[in-house]
Structures are given as structure tokens and as C-alpha cells.
Structure 1
Amino acid sequence: MEVRDIMRTEVETCGPEMTIETVASMMKEFDLGSIPVLGDGELKGMITDRDIVIRGIASHFPMDTPIDLIMASDAPLMGTPIMSVEDAADIMVKNRLRCLPIVEEGRVVGMLVLSDVTVDEDQETF
């Protein structure tokens, strides 16, 4: 089975210039723990609720701080629609990700959520 078969295609995104407060409000409104950050239409990173709390609030950044100052600077991990769900799940488990942005031709086209990936009784994906 390919990622495209189970990925979520409605993806909330934000820009790197958006503020901590705005992104935190989006997370509350849409019940999200992470949001892809797009710059010039391409995935630049992910902002997580943990980034906001630990790197933002606990580090005493003002709520009007742009999220690009607190988001991880690592290259974002991503998958493709044609990769196997098992390969995507392996990336997620090894990197402790709950969500994996799915990118095609440089654009975010979906999100794979770990809770959507089922595991059989023998601990093999699907």
C-alpha cells in the first residue's frame, strides 16, 4: 500500500513569518500538534506544540515572535505519495514523529498521521 492511499489531503500550513500566538491559535482551532511551515510554497520545516512551549514560551520569547526563530533548523523529514506506508511508518517511528508531511514536486500534498497507520498482531505494518 502506498502513502497516497491513506494520507490526509487537507493540510493546514503556516508561514515562517507567522507569530507564536497565531500558530498556537491555529493548533487549538484545528486540534493539531504540528503544522508544516511553507516558504515560497515549499516545505521549510515543521512547527510543533513542543517548539512553542519549550523554545518559545519557556525561553521567554514574546508571543509576537515569528515562528522561524523557534522552529527546528534541521531539514524537515518528509515522505512521498508513492512510498510504501511501511517505509513512511519506519521513518516516523525511528524519528519519533506523529506526523509526516508528504511532498510531491516540492509541494506539500498531504500529511501521514501515525494514528492512521495500523499495526497487525505480529508488529508488522499492514
Structure 2
Amino acid sequence: MSQQLRNVMTSDVVTVNETQSVQEAAALMSEKNIGAIPVVNNSGQMTGIITDRDITLRATAQGEAAQTPVSQVMTAQRVVQATTEMEVEQAAQLMAQQQIRRLPVVENENIVGMVSLGDLAVDKQHDQKAGQALSSISTPSAPQQ
């Protein structure tokens, strides 16, 4: 039987405003033990997502200061999103295709939840789908020359 994301998503989502600093985002990630935070504007609409990888590659590696606004290092274009009505199988397939581990769930352009591979893996009904998605996401790559 199919299950919708609303039934497996984490609905207590931590967000940051696009004007907050990278340091604030990193501190929230550390405090909440998470690797991605949706970025919202003053209206509460999702404008992007910032990941621990974004902070490492777009801020730290570039010598950007900790006070750099989130908007300068977040992923803003083509942020892959899901809806609460999307079926878990569709979400796992989307995550595999896009090679992402976390999927924001939106309703009326507002963030209402997050689904991670971990959310799918702990549910026995969906752990095989999570494994398949992880296998697709974790394709080996070689360092760039």
C-alpha cells in the first residue's frame, strides 16, 4: 500500500532566514544535529536550502567570513521539492534521480516538512526504497584533476 509523505516527513522543521549568517546556520545544524536547513524569506516562503556541504564549499573553502549572509552560499536554483501528497515511492525515486539525501516538503510555497533517507530507512515498509535511493545517490566519483 502506498503512503504519502505527510505520514513519514519530519514536520518540526528548523529554518533560517536568507539574511541570517552562515555562522548562525552552522550553529543550528550543530545544535539540532542536521545537515540541511530550508531558507525562507520574510514571508515564510522557501527560497533555497543551505547544507553543511554548501557551507564548506561555498563559504569556508572560498575564505568567506562567518557573517556572510546565507543567501550568498545557499542553493537557490532548482531546489528539488516535494508535496505532502507525494507518495513515498515517488520521493525515493526523485531523491535517487537528483542524488539528494534530504527533500523539503512544501505546501503553498511554505515549508511544512522534510524527508530524509533516514526517515525512509527507519520505516520497514520503505527501507528497501531508501536503500535503492542511497545506492543511486552514492555513486562513486573520482577527485577532479
Q: TM-score w.r.t. structure 2 length?
A: 0.80
Cα offset, 1:119, TM superposition: 3.0
Number of paired residues? 124
Corresponding residue for 2:128?
120
What is the distance in 2 between the residues matched to 1:99 and 1:52?
16
Which structure's residues are more often helix, by fraction? 2
Corresponding residue for 1:61?
64
Corresponding residue for 2:103?
100
What is the distance in 2 between the residues matched to 1:124 and 1:33?
21
Residue 77 of structure 1 pairs with residue 80 of structure 2: yes
What is the distance in 1 between the residues matched to 2:71 and 2:132?
37
Deviates more, 1:11-20 or 1:110-119: 110-119
Summarize the Cα distance change of 1:82–1:13 in structure 2 as closer, same or farther, 3 Å threshold: same
Deviates more, 1:50-59 or 1:95-104: 95-104
Cα offset, 1:19, TM superposition: 0.5
RMSD of aligned alpha carbons: 1.7
Corresponding residue for 2:11?
9
Question: In structure 2, the residue corresponding to 1:82 is in which secondary structure?
Answer: coil
**Aligned positions of 1:30-41 closer than 5 A:** 30-39=32-41, 40-41=43-44
- Equivalent residue letter for 1:47: I
What is the distance in 2 between the residues matched to 1:110 and 1:120?
22
Summarize the Cα distance change of 1:89–1:60 in structure 2 as closer, same or farther, 3 Å threshold: same
Q: TM-score w.r.t. structure 1 length?
A: 0.91
What is the distance in 2 between the residues matched to 1:59 and 1:124?
34
The runs of at least 4 consecutive aligned structure 1 residues that moved more than 6 Å come to none
- Equivalent residue letter for 1:86: E
Say whether the 8 Å CA contact 2:11–2:112 is kept in structure 1. yes
What is the distance in 1 between the residues matched to 2:76 and 2:118?
26
